Amino acid sequence: TAPHKHEVETVLRAIMTTAIADADIADPDGVVRTLGSAWLAVLSAWVGGTLDTDEMAIDLTTAARLLLG
């Protein structure tokens, strides 16, 4: 349901915000939003059976490296 989805997004956003708090990033909110979108996309692909957990990890690692340098 929407309230549960919002709660998960809030927790995920807090985790990522904390993780990058000390990094020198020009747009930390943008990075968090984009990583959250990537996380949701790979999660949806995993649920749909088009990605396995190893591919999820690769995609999320790639997204983080591209955004964070």
pLDDT value at residue 1: 82
**Can you tell me the distance from the alpha carbon of 46 to that of 48, in angstroms, rounded to the nearest whole number?**
5
Cα distances (Å, whole numbers) of residue 40 to 10, 22, 26, 52, 56: 13, 24, 23, 14, 11
What is the band of 69 on the pLDDT scale with cuts at 50, 70, 90?
confident
Q: What is the pLDDT of residues 12-63, one digit of tens each?
A: 999 999 999 999 999 999 999 999 999 999 999 999 999 999 999 999 999 9
pLDDT value at residue 32: 96
